[in-house]
């Protein structure tokens, strides 16, 4: 009887363990949420958000299939290296940071498509408008760092049309080219630390 109870307890414990979630947090010193957009049809301007938070939940420390991902960026921390341009981006022509101070990304699915490649479908919310966006994600590996922390690295890319989110600035050159392009490339290099 004692053996049966021990066996049953072991099975229950194994079941609880298999449903446990591993939590990871984005390391702000080694994570970048960046973007690139065409300017005048001849060049690209890059920018990033200096303040953000990000969490990922996985089934275990090495398997990221079906990971749950959530990131939030502070729109007021937008940084293109030019203060006047950053001010314009915070205005109602673009993000309207006063009324909509955050951008959120919440995964709907996170599926492996090749060895180190995943596709993440996520709900992206900008200016209170939510659109489903597909991110191509490259898994860069998991290590134990010199301080004993487990870290994982990812690079995620997507392209969105800013007009879909109400970023309405639409000045055009005489040629008809937008002064600021409609499509915005998103590039996230994330280094996650296991909690």
Q: Write the pLDDT tens digit of every residue in 33-71.
A: 999 999 999 999 999 999 999 999 999 888 899 999 999
137-155 pLDDT, tens digit per residue, is 999 999 999 999 999 999 9
What is the rounded distance in angstroms from the CA atom of residue 63 to the CA atom of residue 83? 42
Task: Look up the pTM and report it.
Answer: 0.87
The mean per-residue pLDDT over the stretch 131-140 comes to 98
The mean per-residue pLDDT over the stretch 147-164 comes to 97
Question: What structural domains and CATH numbers belong to the chain?
Answer: 21-194 (2.40.128.110)
| Of 96 and 18, more confident | 96
11-42 pLDDT, tens digit per residue, is 444 444 444 599 999 999 999 999 999 999 99
The answer on pLDDT for 120 being more than 50 is: yes
Write down the pLDDT at residue 2: 52
Specify the 3-state DSSP secondary structure of 61. Answer: coil
**Long-range CB contacts (within 8 A, 24+) of 172-180:** 173/40, 173/41, 175/41, 177/40, 177/41, 178/38, 178/41, 179/39, 179/40, 180/37, 180/38, 180/39
Average per-residue pLDDT in the chain?
92
Write down the pLDDT at residue 20: 57
| Of 166 and 7, more confident | 166
What's the alpha-carbon Rg for the chain, to the nearest Å? 21
Write down the pLDDT at residue 16: 41
């Amino acid at each position: 009887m004692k053996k049966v109870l021990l066996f049953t307890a072991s099975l229950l414990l194994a079941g609880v363990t298999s449903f446990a979630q591993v939590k990871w947090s984005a390391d702000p010193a080694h994570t970048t949420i960046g973007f690139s957009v065409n300017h005048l049809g001849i060049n690209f301007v890059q920018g990033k958000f200096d303040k953000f938070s990000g969490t990922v939940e996985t089934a275990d420390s090495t398997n990221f299939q079906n990971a749950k991902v959530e990131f939030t960026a502070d729109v007021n921390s937008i940084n293109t290296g030019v203060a006047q341009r950053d001010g314009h981006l915070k205005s109602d022509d673009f993000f309207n940071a006063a009324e909509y101070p955050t951008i959120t990304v919440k995964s709907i699915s996170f599926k492996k498509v090749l060895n180190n490649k995943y596709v993440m479908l996520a709900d992206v919310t900008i200016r209170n408008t939510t659109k489903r966006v597909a991110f191509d994600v490259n898994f860069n590996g998991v290590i134990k760092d010199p301080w004993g922390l487990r870290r994982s690295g990812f690079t995620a890319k997507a392209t969105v049309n800013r007009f879909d989110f109400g970023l309405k600035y639409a000045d055009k050159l005489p040629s008809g080219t937008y002064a600021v392009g409609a499509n915005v490339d998103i590039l996230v290099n994330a280094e996650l630390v296991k909690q």
